[in-house]
Structure 1
Amino acid sequence: MSVQPSRVEARFQLAAVMVEEGNYSEALRTLEEALMLAPCDLNCLALACRCLEGLGRHAEALAAAERLCGLDPASTFLALREVFHCRPDDVFVVTFPRCGTTWMVQIVVSCLFGPRANYEDHALFLEGSIASSASYVRKLEELPHPRVLKSHVPADMYPGLAHGKDSILQSYGKVIYVVRNPKDALISLRHHHANNQAIGWDGSWDEWVDQWISGQRSLEYGGSYFDHVNGWWKLSQHHPDRIRVVYFEDLKVPNRRTLDMTSFFQRVCVQADLSAEIGAVASFLGLSLEKEALAEAGSSSAHM
């Protein structure tokens, strides 16, 4: 017998009203009825996560979030918004795709773990890891301090937002958001999609520009580049002590770039002293680095 969608939707809407009133127990019971009818309903699962968190049943909320991500990896941000708890020393490095995420992660890792530290040993690509295995929803809680989390999450889905709030942050966690010239971001993402066999973009440049500007090439990250940057800029204005906006171009020295063609992807290797930028990041993170350490970290990050 087929399930009438209206019956599931009606229960979801009723549960949503109950959640607004703080009646998590009744809301959860109503959602469980809906999930009996439609076990894979993503909206019901996400709201169930919020109810379980509201009732202090965090382990069960994590299990529901893991199930949600397993059913639909695109729901990763939705799930994390409901169950993620920031620690005092959490650092998020966030960008729109192809805007210097890995570079800034290496700078942060150099600040926190020393100039010779490898970012792959200390940082986690949030949505990428969960897409590969939904169990990472749980494993996030097992990561050692401090957690360095790399992400392309849009501002309104940032896991560090207070649960159920749009612009209020949790008590802990800091964000470094990197902005890049949109023309360069457009070109870089186009090459990435063309060279990635799993994507295999082979359309024209005109098609790419239209789709990139409209956000069709980045729907999983909330839409267009401009919406992404605007959302984070506005959030940073509300929380300047917790969200630092950095410009990709400030990390470069014009006319002193070389392309490393030996790697499996092209990346810009800057022959420059980044100690000033690293010092600013360290200060934002509440760290104090000696002059010699800054110089060594700058040299290390510049040659990554």
Structure 2
Amino acid sequence: MHVSPEIITNRASSNIQAAFKQVSGKLLPYRHLRPFSYWDNYYGVNPQITSEHFQLLDYKTIQRFENKGYIAKRVDELGITDVFPRSYFSVADALASRTKADAIWFVKPTHMTGGRGITCHTNESLKSLELPKFHFIQEQVDEIELYEGRKYTARAYVFIHDKKLYVFDDGFVMIHGTPYNDKSIDFATQVDHRGYHQPDSPIKMKRITELPDADKKLSSIQQQLRKLKPVLDEMIAMSSPIHYGLLGIDLLFKRMNSAFFIELNSKSNFVHTELINNSLNTPFFTSILTSLYTHEKDSRLTQI
């Protein structure tokens, strides 16, 4: 018997429906099931979502934390080191920092995702750059771990609910299609993962748990998230028994399996390849729904 409440979604709908099927047996004992919503107000407010629904955090808060520049500034203001790359809001400040003569810089828009709008620069090309409005500069992370000679970016999944912060026990990695050269400013080498969902794409996806020393990598993510937690205090404080937040934290693994965060996404995409949807995204939502409806922390979530 399949048991589920009223569900209102405009993102990741198939994964959420699949997760409700997974958790259905745990919902059988409950006489009343609070309706559930996962709605991005970018597409407009849904008047059917009321105070009775499980729902995302206040949209203004979500938007503020989606601003990559805001996160970079908060990390700096709070004196948090060795978690995010050093970031700058002018070319002069970046070039004046103590860095290497052959440094590589990433110029990023504050609100775009998926690598859109990012450009890569040497010291020389940065000198002649007029920093576009709503962009900032991030220093390259050195000595990153590669996968078969290619750069890869990982994403950790984070759940915020009822004044608590949790991290899921898995995430994904996006493996670039071009062999890595740490001095390259080529977009395909450093950033590009467009078309990863195509069967013949050179871009490949895996789960973090499929990587070597995955347990050490996941432990490092937890350690780094503890350092980052003060940046997330506002989101945590805004959460409640019915208000929740979901984060995707993009990161690189340095040698010796240490995690180094590069972006925080408060409006993460949870729809990827069929394999990742089935083996990662649906289980993540299953853990979330288990926690929301049974009032018990799911075993796959670690509280930070």
TM-score normalized by structure 2? 0.24
Q: Decide which structure has greater helix share.
A: 1
Q: Which has the higher contact order (CA 8 A, sep 6+)?
A: 2
TM-score normalized by structure 1? 0.24
Q: Decide which structure has greater strand share.
A: 2
